[in-house]
């Protein structure tokens, strides 16, 4: 027998007695959550990771992005990025100091941004190699928690969930920020 058939046969043999049982999966965590101030909670939780968060109106986005890029000399701008980017010289993701992207979803409870690498977000390498990642999140993209995010995302698209800057706790379980991913994450929240 080949490995595949042997493993499947072993699994079937092991389970002969157990097939008919089924455990009930509690679903309380999937009940819709109403949070009084979704955007406020998102801003607070993102900032908890030591991320600089700037909340602004639609008309102020370009200025907020320019401010977030103040210390970058070059910036990678993915196709379809909807806001004007002024200041640093444009560059590719492998050489740029910074990158600007939009997101697919923001998660308030965990302070997470999720990229599904659609228009405005670039392929995965864009948000990985530059040392500064500036993320623009619209208020209406923010969902309460992980269940709502999972329900709203397309599993067939590659995704990157980002919660704060790259970090490690590998040395005495002390959190150190900035290992291989962008060492600085900056988030601009646009009130829709």
Partner 1 sequence: MTFLGMPPFPQAAREALGDTQLRRNLAHATATIRAKRAAVVAEVPEWEELRRAGAAIKDNTLRQLDRHLLRLERSLTDHGVTVHWARDAAEACDVVGRIARSHGVDEVVKVKSMATQEIGLNEALAAQGVTAWETDLAELVVQLGDDLPSHILVPAIHRNRAEIREIFLSKMEGTDPELSDEPAELAAAARRHLRQKFLSARMAVSGANFAVADTGTLVVVESEGNGRMCLTLPEILVSVVGIEKVVPTWADLDVFLQLLPRSSTGERMNPYTSTWSGVTPGDGPQEMHVVLLDNGRTRALADEIGRQALRCIRCSACLNVCPVYERTGGHAYGSVYPGPIGAILNPLLKGVGTDAQTDSLPYASSLCGACFDACPVRIDIPEVLVHLRSQVVDVRRGPRPHAEAVAMKAASWTLARSGRLRIAERVSAVFSRLGRRRLPGGRRAVTRLPWPGSLWTDARDLPAPPAESFRKWWRRDERS
Question: Of the listed pieces 54-62, 67-75, 96-104, 140-148, which binds partner 1 according to CB under 8 A?
Answer: 140-148
Taking the C-alpha atoms of residue 45 and residue 35, their distance in angstroms, rounded to an integer, is 14
Of 14-22, 52-60, 68-76, 78-86, the window that binds partner 1 (rule: CB under 8 A) is 14-22
Show contacts with partner 1 in window 23-62 (CB under 8 A): 23-30, 45, 48-49
The 163-192 contact track toward partner 1, x by CB under 8 A, reads xxxxxxxxxxxx-xxxxxxx----------
Tell me whether residue 140 or residue 170 sits nearer to partner 1 (CB atom). 170
12 binds partner 1 (CB under 8 A): yes
**At closest approach, how far in Å is the CB of 64 from partner 1?**
23
Distance, CA of 95 to CA of 149 (rounded, Å) = 32
Calpha distance 171→157 (Å, rounded): 34
N-to-C CA span, the chain: 60
In sequence order, the β-bridge partners of residue 132 are 98, 184
Closest to partner 1 by CB, 120 vs 181, is 181
β-strands 89-90, 74-76: how paired? parallel
Burial class (CB in 10 A: 0-12, 13-18, 19+), 144: middle
Question: By CB under 8 A, what part of segment 91-130 binds partner 1?
Answer: 107, 109-112, 117, 123-125, 128
């Amino acid at each position: 027998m080949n490995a595949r058939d042997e493993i499947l046969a072993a699994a079937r043999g092991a389970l002969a007695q157990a097939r008919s049982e089924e455990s009930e999966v509690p679903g309380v965590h999937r009940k819709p959550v109403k949070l009084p101030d979704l955007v406020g909670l998102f801003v607070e939780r993102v900032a908890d990771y030591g991320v600089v968060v700037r909340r602004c109106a639609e008309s102020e986005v370009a200025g907020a992005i320019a401010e977030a890029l103040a210390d970058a000399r070059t910036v990678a701008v993915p196709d379809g990025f909807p806001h004007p980017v002024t200041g640093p010289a444009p560059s590719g993701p492998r050489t740029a100091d910074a990158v600007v992207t939009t997101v697919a979803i923001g998660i308030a409870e965990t302070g997470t941004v999720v990229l599904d690498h659609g228009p405005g977000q670039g392929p995965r390498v864009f948000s990985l190699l530059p040392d500064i990642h500036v993320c623009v999140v619209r208020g209406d993209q923010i969902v309460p928690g992980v269940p709502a995010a999972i329900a709203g995302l397309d599993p067939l698209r590659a995704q990157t969930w980002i919660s704060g800057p790259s970090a490690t706790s590998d040395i005495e379980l002390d959190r150190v920020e900035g290992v291989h991913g962008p060492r600085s994450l900056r988030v601009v929240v646009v009130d829709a």
